[in-house]
């Protein structure tokens, strides 16, 4: 069912209202506690500025790191409040705790258009346990709930799901709405041909998404370390490449399923090998049929890149999740970089290109092509679960469009 969005609430609906906004501010910090990538903070700005413009009282709720229910000084949201204040060009007050006297008094002191950032919600174990009384206390700070944390929507936590039981208005923020529009739209009502490019090191982490995509796609292109499990299942030698021996039967089943459904399942025909796992390793390119002992595959080869590029040319929707090789090592980044460039070119011709979270996002950003993609997902696990067709608790809990 389609979910209500913040766009359905007018300035009249929100004026002077206390609005609890779940955001994903789990950003990387360096050793000096400086934010090294503020993408997730910037992604929440449209929702926050809309609420400010509508004269709401904006109470932001976020997690940071994995404090496991304990107060950890190095996991406070202080650097986030400072960066958010710069981006909004207005003061952002931060509470010392997400519930309790300090949080309550700071909420009570708010005026219309003010922004308050509650301290790390995971300082309480009750958050991840979705404890009802904790959710009720958190919800009591507000009158309206907005979930804009797509990256945490696959978790049934107090701040993503529990609070909705105690508030009567629960809507999606603009980032959440955009994520659902692109990711659900690509799976449920895609412009065809629909292709999925699935990479990464292990079949085991992508089983659900591969099965689901074979059901829905016209073409599935597989790269990354997981290809060697497929090759071994075919009876090929893979040298010392990464394989999952307990997934060999599954690899055979996935190939058979694609064949039975008439889905074009493409695996690389050549690979770039290394004599050890290092950026300066000796390397050579070979056919997948002749991988020698003592060598490991770390990227797809030039012939495979060309085959993949040709297969994508007529596609109207492409979903990409997972790199083609060890792109962090320059010597083994060609496959991933070429796919990124190809998607940027397809996007300029009207193809809908969706980067489905995780390492693919890092690869696209490293290549400087993020702006050329139709949509870059902010959720890793959440993106995968949505593509698998799973229900996300944080989405299910929101109000449906009447």
Instruction: Quickly count: other Cβ atoms within 10 Å of residue 136's Cβ.
Output: 16
d(CA 41, CA 151): 12
Measured distance CA(21)–CA(9) in Å, rounded: 14
> 174-188 vs 39-53: helix axis angle to the nearest 10?
120
Catalytic residue check, 206: no
Number of Cβ atoms within 10 Å of the Cβ of 37: 12
> Does residue 358 have an active-site annotation?
yes
Catalytic residue (one of 173, 223, 358, 379):
358
CA distance 198 to 211: 11
Q: What count of other Cβ atoms lies within 10 Å of the Cβ of residue 73?
A: 7
d(CA 271, CA 297): 6
* Marked catalytic residue, from 113, 185, 380, 381: 381
Tell me which residue has tokens 């008094």. Answer: 105
Calpha distance 213→96 (Å, rounded): 44
From the list 17, 40, 76, 206, the catalytic residue is 40
Unique residue bearing structure tokens 């360096």: 30
Closest CA to 226 of 200, 197, 250, 208: 200
Q: Which residues are catalytic?
A: 40, 202, 358, 381
């Amino acid at each position: 069912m389609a979910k209500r969005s913040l766009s359905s609430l007018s300035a009249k609906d929100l004026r002077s209202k206390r609005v609890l906004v779940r955001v994903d501010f789990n950003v990387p910090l360096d050793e000096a506690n400086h934010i090294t990538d503020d993408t997730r903070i910037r992604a929440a700005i449209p929702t926050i500025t809309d609420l400010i413009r509508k004269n709401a009282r904006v109470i932001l709720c976020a997690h940071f790191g994995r404090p496991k229910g304990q107060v950890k000084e190095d996991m406070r949201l202080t650097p986030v409040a400072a960066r958010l204040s710069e981006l909004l060009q207005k003061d952002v007050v931060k509470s010392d705790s997400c519930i309790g006297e300090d949080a309550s008094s700071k909420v009570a002191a708010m005026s219309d258009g003010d922004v308050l950032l509650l301290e790390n919600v995971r300082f309480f174990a009750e958050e991840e346990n979705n404890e009802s009384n904790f959710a009720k206390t958190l919800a009591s700070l507000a009158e309206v709930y907005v979930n804009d944390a797509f990256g945490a929507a696959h978790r049934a936590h107090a701040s993503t799901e529990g609070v909705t039981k105690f508030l009567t208005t629960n809507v999606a923020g603009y980032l959440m709405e955009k994520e659902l529009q692109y990711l659900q739209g690509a799976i449920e009502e895609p412009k065809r041909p629909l292709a999925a490019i699935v990479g990464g090191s292990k079949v085991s982490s992508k089983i659900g998404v591969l099965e689901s995509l074979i059901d829905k796609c016209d073409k599935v292109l597989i790269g990354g370390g997981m290809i060697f499990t497929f090759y071994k299942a075919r009876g090929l030698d893979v040298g010392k490449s990464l394989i999952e021996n307990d997934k060999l039967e599954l690899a055979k089943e996935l190939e058979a399923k694609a064949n039975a459904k008439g889905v074009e399942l493409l695996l690389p025909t050549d690979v770039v090998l290394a004599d050890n796992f290092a950026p300066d390793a000796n390397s050579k390119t070979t056919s997948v049929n002749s991988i020698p002992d003592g060598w490991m595959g770390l990227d797809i080869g030039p012939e495979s890149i060309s085959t993949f590029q040709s297969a994508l040319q007529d596609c109207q929707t492409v979903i990409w999740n997972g790199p083609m090789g060890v792109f962090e090592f320059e010597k083994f980044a060609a496959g991933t970089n070429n796919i990124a460039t190809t998607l940027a070119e397809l996007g300029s011709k009207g193809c809908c290109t969706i980067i489905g979270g995780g390492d693919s996002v890092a690869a696209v950003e490293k290549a400087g092509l993020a702006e050329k993609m139709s949509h870059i997902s902010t959720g890793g696990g959440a993106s995968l679960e949505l593509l698998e067709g799973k229900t996300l608790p944080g989405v299910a809990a929101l109000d449906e469009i009447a």
